[in-house]
Structure 1
Amino acid sequence: MAASFATIAEQIKLDILSKTHVQDNDAKRKEIARTFISDTITVPTKEMYEYATLSTLGDDVYFEPSTKALETHMAQLTGKEAALFVPSGTASNQIALRCHLLQPPYTVMCDHRAHIHKYEAGGAAFHSGAAVTPVVPSNGHHLTVDDVRRNMIMGPDVHEAPTEVVALENTLNGTIIPQEEIVAISQFVHSLGRKMHLDGARLWHVAAETEMPIKELCDPFDSVSLCFSKGLGAPIGSCLVGSNAYITKARRIRKLFGGGMRQTGILAASAAYALTYNFPLLPKVHQMARTLEAGLEEIGVKITSKAETCMIFYDPSTVGVTYEEIADRASDLPEPLILGGSRLVVHIQTSESAVADFLSLVRKLAEEKKAAGFVKPGPNANGTTYKDIYVRRAPKQTA
């Protein structure tokens, strides 16, 4: 016997809201304020949600007014002809490469730490059939025009796939590439008829720190990807910008990759809110990161990558402490801190009390290690210095 419609409807229905969802969300926001793992964990505020509900209700595969307004603004802001709203930074980067790369064999050059190379599931190879040339910066900080020149593949050797795109990332691990270096790289790459792409997921931080206009930061590139869902706190989305012809092609590739979305007005409005109200919060984020850096240095912890924007990398072995000890102790606090190894990421929803509590925790651990007999060795007899090594003194003999 066929089931009644009411029975089918009963089987289909779903209520995802628990009886405590308001309290659960408040608890989650409190947790996020004390999480240093990434800025991807930022969440929409109630005010962002309220603004987003006022957006238009079009279909973005055809035409969505709020999304079109965002794309128009992003094109004007970056000094490009057109923009395309996409679900993620990875989608934006991979669509960008697919549109630049026409006929293999070819190679994409990037920093060996770049997101395109390390964290996009081999997308350049899978989507575009491209090899990647990962380059280690000779200065240990950022790629230079000399690095690019040395690794550019342009010769007649048929064993090598020519470099077609040079992709930079700014910021990369929170560090800023000097704009004059970017301009020099761009001039060199374009002189060879090749393309420049920027993974500018955190370019907002560069603008906030250097006070350079977004357009100036984007001018050297043929295409740029910018993210709304990391440090700016929108729930989802990035924009890819470029020429009219390029973005027309990108729109087709977005559809091919399964990224054509429908009622995106609510997402576009969230991004617009983030640009308006959350971007101005970034200077405070940078100041909190510098507070972390200064506090750790005062304790004696080694900083391996300084707080240029929202991230620092540190090595606590200089005070005899491990990352595991810090994470374990942090999780036992009355209000736990959530940590992820050597990287500390500050974002617009990080609380000042979380920064203070983290420094207090590391300071206490360092004091405990010192009291237990951990010391940093001084110079050898020949004048050399042991770096980042701790030894444990033999315990005193007791009667």
Structure 2
Amino acid sequence: MATTNGAPALEQQAVQKEAQHQANGDVAINNWSQPGPAAFDFRSDVVTTPTTRMLNAIASTSLLDDVFQDDPTTNNLEAFMADLTGKEAALLVLSGTMGNQVAIRTQLLAPPHSVVTDHRSHIMEWEAGGVASLCGALVKPVTPSNGAYVTLADVKKQTVISSDIHACPTKLISLENTLSGIILPLEECQRISTWAHQHDILMHLDGARLWEAVAAGAGSLKDYCACFDSISLCFSKGLGAPIGSIIVGNKAFRERARWVRKSIGGGLRQAGVVTAAARVAVEDNFLGGKLKACHARARQISELWISKGGKVTNPVETNMVWFDLDAAGISTEKFIEEGEKVGLRLLGGRLVVHYQIGDEAVSRLEKLMQAVLKGKQLNGTAEHAPEKLQFPTE
């Protein structure tokens, strides 16, 4: 039996007892060896559960200090991600929000400055106003004229390059890919990047789900990253790691970002317990090709819904399906409640297909479609109020 720090590792029969102790009896056993509830959870791709290979990687990891840059597992992951994205350097951060905020604050040296971004973007709607409070920046939202993704023409309308002292000059353009499951085309990124750099404006990408655009064949990871001065990539959205994101850029960016990360409490000690699982997530689920299957399943779900008379509000380009619940004549709350009757967890009309969603989940979803669109009765019960299954953040 393996030992760690003089204590024996848990035998398999002790896992359930320890799980109950850690959760005060609220859970029977963990789900390292199987998806568990995640297999029937369409609310987001953040609900994926880590795998046994991730557990083994954590158990095997180095246990040195990342603040001192001593941990080889963490240093190796950062070097691996820098190479994968074609950038000089990378830095571990704890979340996608931390990645965006550290990157943007690193790039914006001192006010006055403004950031141009899509009006639906994560940094605008889901990061607690961090660009304002942490960076002192004015955020200027852009509405895509095509209804799907921002273009250079859209960006130009909101970008301030004037020397007028009444204006707040744009120092950074922050794009997001994918956004609502929709791909920002590589060619558009390149056009915006070329124009921005001609005007000495920095480019940041919230690439939490950039993996999905690459898996869909929209462009290579390196080609997308070449358009931006900094990129944030998430290991726990879609790739299944339990925690962590990475930001990449040049060496000067990375070194300043270390200061910023430390200032907001992002320095880790034994970081290998995070980075070991993140490395497995990239290798097994991104490089291993599992995301393409998610896209195919998302298209299957969309086609099933449409075949039964349903409508969608967005095209299916990656792993998200958007049911038009208004057209189906059902409220969000009722849809969530009916979904629970067939054993599904739903957030509303947006369904996110991750790699742990299987055939059984789709079969249950088809039963729900029959009830919503064809008036079939469901015999199951809803144990939770709809608002309990809704989480307000991504």
Q: Same fold (TM over 0.5)?
A: yes
Q: Which moved more, 1:319-328 or 1:299-308?
A: 319-328
How far the C-alpha of 1:267 sits from its partner, in A, is 1.1
The number of aligned residues is: 355
Give the aligned residue type for 1:56.
S
Q: Quick one: distance in 2 between partners of 1:134 and 1:19?
A: 46
Residue 210 of structure 1 corresponds to which residue in structure 2? 217
Q: CA deviation at 1:275?
A: 1.1
SS in 1 for 2:338: helix
**1:358 shift after superposition:** 1.0
> Does structure 1 residue 298 correspond to structure 2 residue 311?
no
In the alignment, the residues of structure 2 paired with residue 27 and residue 326 of structure 1 have an alpha-carbon distance, to the nearest angstrom, of 31
- The CA RMSD measured in Å over matched residues stands at 2.0
User: Is residue 319 from structure 1 mapped to residue 328 from structure 2 by the alignment?
Assistant: yes
Q: How far off its partner does 1:252 sit?
A: 1.0
Cα 1:166/1:222, change in 2 over 3 Å: same
Please list the CA deviations of residues 91-110 of structure 1 after superposition, one character each: whole Å capped at 9, or x if unmatched: 11001111111120110000
TM-score with structure 2 setting the length = 0.86
TM-score normalised by structure 1 residue count: 0.85
- 2:326 maps to a residue whose letter is S
Provide the residue aligned with 2:67 in structure 1. Answer: 61
Which secondary structure does the structure 1 equivalent of 2:204 belong to?
strand
CA 1:367–1:102 in structure 2 vs 1: closer, same or farther (change >3 Å)? same
Q: Tell me what 1:258 maps to.
A: 265
Kindly report which structure 2 residues correspond to 1:40-59, keeping only aligned pairs within 5 A, or say none. Answer: 40-59=46-65
Q: 2: distance between equivalents of 1:93 and 1:87?
A: 11
**Does the alignment pair 1:32 with 2:41?**
no
**What is the CA–CA distance in structure 2 between the aligned matches of 1:151 and 1:341, rounded to whole Å?**
32
Give per-residue Cα distances to partners, 1:80-130, cap 9 Å, x unaligned: 110000101111100111111112011000000000111000000110100
Question: Could you tell me how far apart the structure 2 residues matched to 1:28 and 1:332 are?
Answer: 22
Q: Secondary structure at the match of 1:325?
A: helix
AA at the equivalent of 2:54: M
Partner in structure 1 of residue 316 of structure 2: 307
CA gap of 1:366–1:82, structure 2 versus 1, over 3 A, is same
Q: Which runs of 5+ in 2 are unaligned?
A: 1-19, 377-394
Judge conservation of contact 1:98–1:128 (CA < 8 Å) in 2: yes
After superposition, the C-alpha distances for 1:219-255 in whole angstroms (9 at most, x for unaligned) are 0100001010110000111110011111000011111
Greater alpha carbon shift after TM alignment, 149-158 vs 237-246: 149-158
Give the 3 Å change call, closer, same or farther, for CA 26–47 of structure 1 in structure 2: closer
Question: 2-side partners of 1:142 and 1:116: how far apart?
Answer: 16
Structure 1 stretch displaced more, 90-99 or 315-324: 315-324
1:153-212 per-residue CA deviation (whole Å, 9 max, x = no partner) reads: 111332321110000000011110111011000001000011000000011111111163
SS at match of 2:42: coil
The higher radius of gyration belongs to: 1
Q: Does the 8 Å contact 1:171/1:203 carry over to 2?
A: yes
Q: Check conservation: 2:33, 2:51, Cα contact below 8 A.
A: no
**2:32 touches 2:50 (CA, 8 Å); kept in 1?**
no
Using a 3 Å threshold, how does the CA distance of structure 1 residues 338 and 17 change in structure 2: closer, same or farther? closer
8 Å contact from structure 2 (residues 310, 327) kept in 1: yes
1:270: how far off?
0.3
* Aligned 8 A contact 2:31 2:49 in 1: no
In the alignment, what sits opposite 1:248? 255
Distance in 2 of aligned mates of 1:24 and 1:59: 28
Residue matched to 2:292: 283
Instruction: Provide the rounded CA distance (Å) in 2 between the counterparts of 1:170 and 1:148.
Output: 15
Match for residue 84 of structure 1?
Answer: 91
Greater shift, 349-358 or 64-73, is seen at: 349-358
SS in 2 for 1:83: strand
Aligned partner of 1:339 among 342, 346, 370: 346
Query: Aligned pair in 2 of structure 1 residues 92, 26: CA closer, same or farther (>3 Å)?
Result: closer
Q: Which amino acid aligns with 1:37?
A: R
Shift of 1:20: 8.0
Residue 25 of structure 1 and its aligned partner are, at CA, apart by 3.9
Structure 2 counterpart of 1:163, from 170, 175, 178: 170
